[in-house]
Structure 1
């Protein structure tokens, strides 16, 4: 991490250029931090580095969902570090600040407890955390077809989080909804079983 200045320690630069510089510093620093934290990890059932997923979620938040909040994009890069690596909340806060840490904590599934509590917590979360979760669900829909049914179930649970008047949330709802429709059709076509189409709603439960 020595080659990239910590954005929390970087000297401030005023004006529009300063804003852009801070944005890119935070995102670049978060990207490097996520890559190092997930080093050696691969996507389940794949040889792809796990960081491919992290960068995909961040790209979805910033480009597809058009969120230009550097801390939200940073949290997207880091959304799994507390759940899947040895990173602690205290360390993450020291590196990226309280808001990024809080967003990542909100997205972290507890190792114990009722999964319903996790989804209820997300429903009560701010739009920023819900937006990252939607990007996470969208990125998972690009996984191999044998994983799609489970990802579709999670995707529809996540779509239920797409409430609010924020432009980013409205765009995310539109994109994720269309992607889920395409994923269901892909499963139906691959199965060749009309009963799957007739009961496609079951994939959303």
Structure 2
């Protein structure tokens, strides 16, 4: 089977991200954050089996590095130096602009992602697939509902990048509905 990505590229990005996110945990858990990056990259790798025409190295590097600018001290310039402009631009597009009001950040991010190659779109789809796990116990019903609505927004904006990921996300969104109807810590 011919692969459109290399293990060496994956390992280089994984080591970089592991160092950058060292000590971070998935919110609401004791699970090392690198696990989230593994889940996102796994989704992208699975989609690349269906989308052989894509630049798998670009997609996988951005999947692994997608939170480095947003959640660590790593800069755009560092990513550009280490991985090239295409990866740095993809990671930057996937980074929320925290100077904007929170309710504007997703639309802004999606608009910037849509200006990138579709490999970057795949990363955002995979990221939300990975994040649609049972919500942290402290989330209110309102927060859970808004998070699901954001997932629908992501799906609608980026679904054309990958039928495989779009279908996976649609299924996760449907299943996530159950968390909006169960009792939560509404305050």
TM-score tier after normalising by the smaller chain length: 0.7 to 0.9
Alignment counterpart, residue 184 of structure 1, candidates 152, 167, 177: 177
Map residues 43-58 of structure 1 onto 2, 5 A cutoff. Answer: 43-58=26-41
Measured in 2, the distance between the counterparts of 1:143 and 1:78 equals 24
TM-superposition CA deviations, 1:129-163 (whole Å, max 9, x none): 11100101110002436454343122111101234
Larger relative contact order (Cα-Cα within 8 Å, sequence gap ≥ 6): 2
Instruction: Give the 5 Å matches for 1:1-205.
Output: 23-64=6-47, 66=49, 69-113=56-100, 114-115=104-105, 116-144=107-135, 146=137, 147=139, 148-164=144-160, 169-188=162-181, 190-191=182-183
TM-score (normalised: structure 1): 0.73
SS at match of 1:111: coil
What value does the CA root-mean-square deviation take over the aligned residues?
2.4
What TM-score do the two structures reach when normalised by structure 2? 0.80
Unaligned runs of 5+ in 1: 1-15, 193-205
Distance 1:26 1:105 in 2: 19
Going from structure 1 to structure 2, the CA distance change for 1:123 and 1:94 (only over 3 Å counts) comes to: closer
Q: Give the secondary structure class of the aligned counterpart of 1:181.
A: helix
* Aligned residue pairs, count: 170
* Range moving further from structure 2, 40-49 or 78-87: 40-49
**Which residues of structure 2 form unaligned runs of 5+?**
none
Please identify the structure whose Cα radius of gyration is greater.
1
Q: Once the two structures are superposed, what CA deviation does each residue of 1:20-55 show, in whole Å capped at 9, x if it has no partner?
A: 8x7110001111111110001112221111111111
